[in-house]
């Protein structure tokens, strides 16, 4: 499987010319406030997706896939002009993105791959957004959503009392019911199995489980809420979870999304809700998850970083 081997950053934010190397599993980037952690993550975002419209500089991402090494370079000038390279040869943006896709990186994966200030509340902006993100994982769910949008557009051009409007409303209700059944019986259970797998590894306890369950089921897929099972401690919701549990639940959700989207890289920026007495257990859990994904974590905790199998100090 391909993985990010290194990043070279030139004249980008805090960096004049720095190269950072990564392992295929877990990587912890350690540094105090204003040490450059966020700048390094921003450079990674820029190289992967070019998402920052104000960014400029030169970033080269090196991926390794078995014995094959590929250098992908993105340069943006102050005037907004951009250039792309593969192994030092100029290419079009389309070719650059196609090579990223071959490495398991899609242009729209940024919100899945990179998370800042990771807590469940930051991931769960609204239950509906989480639901729609999961729904896209099932091809049939996407087809139903497209059909629903088409029906709604058609309804907007018709008098409510017309016969055709009634037929379209009936069709919309059928689609809503089909989507709900699909989500409840296939899409969400499949995703929860992935999420639970990562959560079980992170906490090191198979009796503790997290799952997302539907809520607000009247007129459509309104959202999901996080539910946690503490084994003998009983059941509870996210409001009853500790900060560390919320962080691990958010990580599990993000890693499950990455795996479901065939994206092998996930980045957690500012993971600081960590109990200092449980650094080793946390690292062990992340190492276990890193057998499935390449994980990059930034943290201010030196003790946390010192226990990692591969660390970068800024």
Judge contact between 206 and 200, C-beta under 8 A.
yes
- Please say if the pLDDT value at position 86 is more than 70: yes
Average of pLDDT values for 60-68? 95
Judge contact between 210 and 252, C-beta under 8 A.
yes
CA distance 173 to 222: 14
CA distance 182 to 140: 8
Instruction: Confirm whether pTM is higher than 0.95.
Output: no
Judge contact between 5 and 21, C-beta under 8 A.
yes
Phi, psi of 211 (to 5 degrees): -155, 155
Confidence of residue 6 (pLDDT cuts 50, 70, 90): very high
Q: Strand (E) positions, 197-293?
A: 208-215, 223-230, 235-237, 265-269
- The pLDDT tens digits of the residues spanning 116-144 come to 655 565 565 566 777 878 888 899 988 99
Q: Which two tokens stand for residue 75?
A: 């340069």
Give the CB-side neighbour count of residue 297, counting CA atoms within 13 A: 35
CA distance 309 to 260: 26
Among residues 110, 111, 3, 36, which one has the least CA distance to residue 313? 36
pLDDT reported for residue 80: 80
Among residues 303, 293, 276, which one has the least CA distance to residue 194? 293
pLDDT reported for residue 220: 46
Q: Which two tokens stand for residue 67?
A: 């014995």
More confident residue, 306 or 218: 306
Cα distances (angstroms) measured from residue 250 to each of 51, 199, 266: 23, 9, 12
- Please say if the pLDDT value at position 14 is more than 80: yes
pLDDT reported for residue 232: 44
More confident residue, 206 or 310: 310
More confident residue, 63 or 222: 63
- The whole-chain average pLDDT of the chain stands at 84
Nearest-5° angle of CA 306, CA 205, CA 261?
80
Judge contact between 250 and 119, C-beta under 8 A.
yes
CA distance 101 to 97: 6
Q: Which residues pair with 208 in a beta bridge?
A: 230
CA distance 64 to 103: 9
- The pLDDT tens digits of the residues spanning 106-122 come to 766 666 677 665 556 55
Query: Which domains does the chain show, CATH number per domain?
Result: 1-106+264-314 (3.40.50.300)
Cα distances (angstroms) measured from residue 128 to each of 120, 124, 184, 236, 247: 15, 9, 15, 21, 20
Q: Among 7-21, 116-130, 260-274, which range has the highest average pLDDT?
A: 7-21
CA distance 145 to 51: 27
Average of pLDDT values for 175-192? 90
pLDDT reported for residue 160: 81
Which segment of 35-39, 181-185, 216-220, 265-269 scores lowest on mean pLDDT?
216-220
């Amino acid at each position: 499987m391909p993985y990010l081997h290194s990043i070279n950053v030139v004249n980008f934010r805090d960096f004049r010319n720095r190269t950072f190397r990564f392992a295929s599993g877990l990587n912890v980037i350690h540094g105090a406030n204003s040490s450059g952690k966020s700048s390094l993550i921003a450079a990674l975002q820029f190289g992967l997706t070019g998402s920052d419209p104000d960014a400029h500089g030169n970033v080269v991402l090196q991926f390794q896939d078995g014995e094959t090494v590929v250098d992908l370079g993105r340069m943006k000038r102050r005037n907004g002009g951009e250039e792309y390279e593969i192994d030092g040869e100029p290419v079009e943006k389309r070719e650059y993105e196609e090579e990223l896709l071959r490495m398991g990186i899609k242009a729209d994966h940024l919100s899945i791959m990179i998370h800042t200030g990771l807590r469940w509340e930051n991931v769960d902006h609204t239950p509906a957004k989480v639901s729609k993100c999961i729904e896209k994982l099932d091809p049939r769910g996407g087809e139903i959503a497209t059909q629903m949008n088409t029906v709604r557009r058609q309804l907007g051009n018709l008098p409510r009392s017309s016969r055709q409007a009634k037929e379209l409303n009936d069709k919309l209700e059928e689609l809503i019911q089909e989507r709900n059944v699909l989500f409840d019986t296939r899409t969400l259970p499949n995703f929860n199995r992935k999420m639970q797998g990562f959560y079980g590894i992170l906490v090191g306890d198979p009796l503790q489980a997290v799952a997302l369950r539907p809520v607000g089921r009247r007129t459509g897929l309104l959202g999901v809420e996080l539910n946690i099972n503490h084994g003998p401690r009983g059941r509870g919701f996210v409001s009853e979870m500790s900060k560390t549990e919320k962080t691990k639940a958010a990580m599990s959700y993000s890693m499950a999304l990455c795996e479901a989207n065939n994206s092998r890289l996930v980045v957690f920026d500012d993971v600081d809700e960590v109990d200092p007495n449980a650094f080793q257990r946390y690292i062990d859990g992340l190492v276990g998850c890193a057998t499935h994904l390449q994980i990059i974590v930034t943290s201010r905790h030196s003790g946390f970083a010192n226990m990692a199998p591969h660390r970068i100090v800024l």
